[in-house]
Amino acid sequence: MTASYPHLRVETTDAGVRTITLDRPERLNAVNGALADALPLALADASQDDAVRVVVVTGAGRGFCAGLDLGEPVDMGSTRAVRLDPYRWVGRWVQGVAQCDKPVIAAINGPAAGAGFGLALACDLRLMSASATCTAGYVRRGLSPDAGVTWFLPRLIGMARAMDLVLTGRDIDADEALRIGLVSSVHPADTFADAVADYAARLAAGPPVALTLSKRLLHASASATLDAQLRDELTQIKQCLASADVREAMTAFKEKRPPVFRGA
């Protein structure tokens, strides 16, 4: 039975797609303390559950996530533990996505701003509604970025474009997001949920072991040397070759049918 978390809705299909919906629609799913604590726990649960093959993160109502809820007090140092926590608040969101062994899809259904923008950037894949917008937005409130924005954004779109988006805090519409490589695809608003479900189901039909090891390799490549990466790739592909899923793929190829991967 799936656990429940404050300000989250968690649902899992028979195909193994777990959708985690940020559920504070009256605040455009802005982050408060309870939501900041809940999302990493939900991601860890999905990572450890063999029934889950793919994770989708999206927002309830008309927003993805509006960033930090400035209407609630932010505790940045009331205790020693808080002052010394390097991942306070939304840093744990990013760690939760990166450490989740399942592919994580950001379904950007509406405005993604500040830490919500960072959450989308941290996800492995990003699909966007044609009516949605993204913004770093921090400078509008006199703030510098958090939630991994300054790490992910230059790697995704290049330093010059990242500087523009962070320093101006301007909005990015879906067309621009697709053009600069910020998202993988854009879909009409009225069919967005169906497009995400179809994409996630197709991904979930893939080989779970290979998907996990591929994600690990891609994340490790950011700080690895070529020599180290080549060695790690060989180690991981050996694990795949020893799996029943590879034998199934070879058999399916000979029999001219789609493979049925079971994660074994």
Task: DSSP letter for 139, please.
Answer: G
Considering only 70-84, 88-102, 110-124, 241-255, which range has the smallest mean pLDDT? 70-84
Go through the chain and tell me how many residues it has.
Answer: 264
Task: Parse the chain into domains and list their residue ranges.
Answer: 8-204, 208-255
Query: What is the rounded distance in angstroms from the CA atom of residue 192 to the CA atom of residue 114?
Result: 23
Using 50, 70 and 90 to split pLDDT, how confident is the model at 176? very high
The model's pTM is 0.93
Residues 6+ away with beta carbon under 8 Å from 182: 126, 134, 156, 157, 172, 176
For residue 104, give the DSSP letter.
E
Model pLDDT for residues 32-51, shown as the tens digit of each residue: 989 999 999 999 999 999 99
Range 208-255 has CATH code 1.10.12.10: yes
DSSP 209-245: HHHHHHHHHHHHTTT--HHHHHHHHHHHHHHHHTSHH
Q: Do the domains spanning 8-204 and 208-255 agree at the CATH topology level?
A: no
Q: What is the pLDDT of residue 76?
A: 61
Buried b (16+ CB within 10 A) or exposed e, 143-181: eebbbbbeebbeeebeeebbeebbeebeebebebbbebe
Question: What pLDDT shows up at residue 264?
Answer: 85
The residue type of 90 is V
**Per-residue model confidence as pLDDT tens digits over 47-88:** 999 999 999 999 999 999 999 988 876 666 677 877 777 777
For domain 8-204, the question of CATH label 3.90.226.10 is answered with yes
The Cα–Cα gap between 154 and 26 comes to 32
Within 10 angstroms of residue 200's Cβ, the number of other Cβ atoms is 25
**Average pLDDT over every residue of 142-168:** 96
